Structure 1
Amino acid sequence: MKNKIIILVVLVVFVLIGLVFAQYFIFQCRLPFLRTLLKCPSYIQPESPGAAANSSENLPKPQKVTLPKVLYNLAGSIQEIGTNFLVLDAAIPGMDDSGEPIIKKEIRKILITLSTKFTRLTFIEKPGSTSKTPQETAIGFKDLKKGDYVEAVSNQDISQKQEFEATLIRVLQRNF
């Protein structure tokens, strides 16, 4: 009986040593023959002294940012409220001359129809937690006021339209 226990303990120790070896060498792609066998990405190289200084050279280059082909929503501050429209100073995604993403400000007119819904998005703190839960509450057109930061959602591509019908107007919290 003692021999079986000793054999079992030795077996468990070897398994644990094997797991440590596997985690360090296989999953870290440290051994050259394992890098080719496991098809590790070429930017994963074995660590060498001074590798931390050159680590950014081994990383893949970031993808170039592209703009969406269509735009169904935009956000901005209400500049004017009419009987059946809103005028927003909207944040429009764009690209500068060097191809970097930028946000342009443009005035857009949002047409309100009978089917346009209005909501207010708030974040409620959970007791005993640091996370907040989003809560959307129905409001009316009369609850909107100049200066509110809103998201206007449409069922059509609004990327090039200066005026469009909204299916939803959502008042957003500004935390900046």
Structure 2
Amino acid sequence: MFIIAGLGNPDEKYQGTRHNVGFDVVDRLAEKYQIAVDTKKHRALIGKGVIEGQKVLLVKPQTYMNLSGESIRSLVEYYKIDPEEELLVIYDDISLEVGQLRIRRKGSAGGHNGIKNIIANLGSSVFPRIKVGVGEKPKGYDLADYVLGKFSKEDRVLMEEGYDLACEASALIMQGAIDQAMNEYNQKKKE
């Protein structure tokens, strides 16, 4: 079993915000591979299915972003998976251009509270992740207001492309080809 967890906030008012990019990618994967993410377990919405021949659990923690690790730890323990090999976390990143991806095997939280909580709950920062760029916070903006804001029409188009790329990268990572995924997707978009 491979777990793909997208981070976000559960309330309807957060749909389509920068901070819910992880949920949006999981929704795109669910649609592409016809997996219903509608079962409530482990403080998350989950859906079981198959992606490229691999059993997968798509996960949208319902704990709010800052407590995402509680849900993910529960799933990791229940399914007895190795986070280094069988967990993929997808989330927003303000240090990347809109729609740009950065894939890593491990790393720090980089100021992201959802990731900080996952690292604290797992006791390790070694798990694959896909960061999806939401653009840098404009000067003078409050960070919380920015990440809880919605995309412009222009940015939404770039994000849709980013979601598709994140789905492709997720499939590669699940097949054990994280190096290939990093080589293909950790590049700035060509103008």
* Interval of TM-score (by shorter of Structure 1 and Structure 2): under 0.3
Larger relative CO (CA 8 A, sep 6+): 1 or 2?
Answer: 2
Length-normalised TM-score, structure 1 = 0.23
The structure with the largest alpha-carbon Rg is 1
Q: Select the structure that is richer in helix.
A: 2
Larger strand share, 1 or 2: 1
| TM-score for the superposition, normalised by structure 2 | 0.21
